[in-house]
Amino acid sequence: MNPVVTNPVVALTIAGSDSGGGAGIQADLKTFAAHRVFGTSVITALTAQNTTGVKGISVVDPGFVGAQLDAVLADLPVAAVKTGMLATPETVALVAGYAPRLPGLVVDPVLVASSGDRLFTRDAERAYLDLLFPHAAVVTPNLREASVLLGRDVLDVDDAIKAAEDLAATGARCVVVKGGHLRGSRDAVDVVCAGGTVELLSAPWVDTANNHGTGCTLAAATAARLALGQPVAEALAGAKEYVHAALVASSGWRLGTGHGPLAWGPFERPLT
């Protein structure tokens, strides 16, 4: 008697490659694997980077980004999708055109480098707001990205709440403003706005320099959990717990001389 074979669920990441392995495609695929989700990928840019920063970027032609999307979607049953660095306004628009075929779409709008420098022109920001966000199940800007998207400072919890509400007006079904170490808070606080309701997701602050890829990991963990069939609220709570565990697990690492990467599961507690 042949054993029953159960295929893994499939998730897709559309993002840039991080040669240092801490963020981007590499972080996403590790996070998918930790959730026992089969990861597929569409690469939008190559970066030369390490723990100290980005040294160079080579953008993939949008036409070839589309070719990668066509190849994956034609053959594999993608159950959820996470976007990261989309590199150009044209690629943002391209991905938005595929959005009806991208279930469980988690948009991490990578607009600002960790140095604070903007990576794109205002055209890219408008493309996110007008074209891609309306299709998103979840949008996960950090404080700097929310500031750039809205054209105003987002510094504390009250700012983040208003930012989440305003970004939800784009049509995104759920907006998570990733607070990290928000001014006035001792915890790592994310503000979640969904269905007109605002909630705070908090976890104890982990004092570590190994935080490169935190945002990518949160978005990828959310997409993995959506692929597994969890509702959005449950997926976000689980992703937050996963990132906290990853920060704790890697807090003592000494990989590189800058901001090191996160660990990846399974951790002490099994995934639920």
Q: What is the pLDDT of residues 229-254, one digit of tens each?
A: 999 999 999 999 999 999 999 999 99
Q: Average pLDDT in the 117-144 region? A: 89
For the chain, helix, strand, coil in percent to 5 are 40, 25, 35
- pLDDT over 50 (residue 270): no
Rounded to whole angstroms, what are the CA distances from 115 to 144, 240, 259?
Answer: 10, 24, 12
CB 20 within 8 A of CB 261: yes
pLDDT of residue 12: 99
CB 168 within 8 A of CB 157: no
Cis amide prior to 266 (ω within 30 degrees): yes
pLDDT of residue 123: 81
pLDDT of residue 271: 45
6-17 burial code (b ≥16 CB/10 A, e <16): eeebbbbbbbbb
Structure-model confidence comparison of residues 164 and 113, the more confident one: 164
Rounded to whole angstroms, what are the CA distances from 245 to 158, 211, 220, 270?
Answer: 27, 12, 15, 11
pLDDT of residue 114: 63
Token pair of 131 as six digits: 């074209």
Mean pLDDT of the chain: 93
Integer distance in angstroms from the first to the last C-alpha of the chain?
A: 31
- pLDDT over 80 (residue 260): yes
Alpha-carbon distance 107 to 123, whole Å? 17
- Give the position of tokens 């935080």: 211
Q: Average pLDDT in the 42-64 region? A: 95
Structure-model confidence comparison of residues 266 and 181, the more confident one: 266
pLDDT of residue 182: 67
pLDDT tens track for 163-222: 999 999 999 999 999 987 666 677 899 999 999 999 999 999 999 999 999 999 999 999
Q: What's the pTM value of the predicted model, to 2 decimals?
A: 0.95
- pLDDT over 90 (residue 78): yes
pLDDT of residue 4: 79
pLDDT of residue 272: 47
Beta bridge partners of 58: 46
Instruction: Classify strands 38-50 and 10-18 as parallel, antiparallel or unpaired.
Output: parallel
